[in-house]
Amino acid sequence: MDTQETSRILIVEDDERLATLTREYLEGNGFDVDVEGDGNRAVDRIISEKPDLVILDVMLPGEDGLGVCRRVRPEYNGPILMLTARTDDMDQVVGLEMGADDYISKPVRPRVLLARVRALLRRVTGSDEQVELEDGDDSRLQFGNLVVDNAMREAWLAGESIDLTSAEFDLLWLLASNAGRVLTREEIFTALRGIEYDGQDRSIDVRVSRIRPKVGDDPMHPRRIKTVRSKGYLFVKEV
């Protein structure tokens, strides 16, 4: 089934002209799209309607986009694509820390937006083959009391389910399925986002910092997901 024919997208944007143009463009590419212009109402709608993907602007009346992301994450596991000001790196970093899966800078280029939306939805359905660098049949990996299941897109620590966003799970699976191998930021970025690394994007580092405590790693002295200076990250097979 083609995900773009059935996927429901909620655009949270108070700029009516931009929201209308974005909606019409996405609908023209086969998506079912709705728009919400108020942050407070957006929280209720995201939690109750559970859209397949949310496009969320940072600047909103009522609750801002960062607050919306923070409030819905405990009850909404779908991908959130955040719209940020081109020069505001802090919004991008904070957005990722709040649980956003990806971000795109304004002014929005329609083709770039469409590519990001499709990539996020493919990951949710498990059909994005770019995520894995290693080929193999194993869909479930176990490292001591940590279990990562790619078929179910879930992970458990000591039998307890780990709360991961879609983007966090993708990164964890990528690292775990390449355990014992140093993955450069360039490799990780290209595998997860399908575009070349620009040398400045901090999204990978932010997500690693969020994943570490969730898998029982010490953020200050990590033993499971190690930072390899000037290279990237190493997932350790045996801790």
Q: Which pLDDT value is given to residue 201?
A: 67
Residue 172 pLDDT > 50, yes or no? Answer: yes
Mean pLDDT of 175-182: 94
Strand order in the sheet with 225-228: 182-184, 232-235, 225-228
Q: Which pLDDT value is given to residue 89?
A: 64
Residue 134 pLDDT > 60, yes or no? Answer: no
Peptide bond into 107 cis (omega under 30): yes
Cβ atoms of 221 and 164 within 8 Å: the answer is no
Mean pLDDT of 206-226: 92
Residue 74 pLDDT > 90, yes or no? Answer: no
Strand partners, 225: 235
Q: Cα(167)–Cα(173) distance, rounded to whole angstroms?
A: 10
* Nearest partner of 190 among 117, 147, 131, judged by Cα: 131
Q: What is the pTM of this model?
A: 0.65
Percent of the chain with pLDDT strictly greater than 90: 48
Structure-model confidence comparison of residues 37 and 108, the more confident one? 37
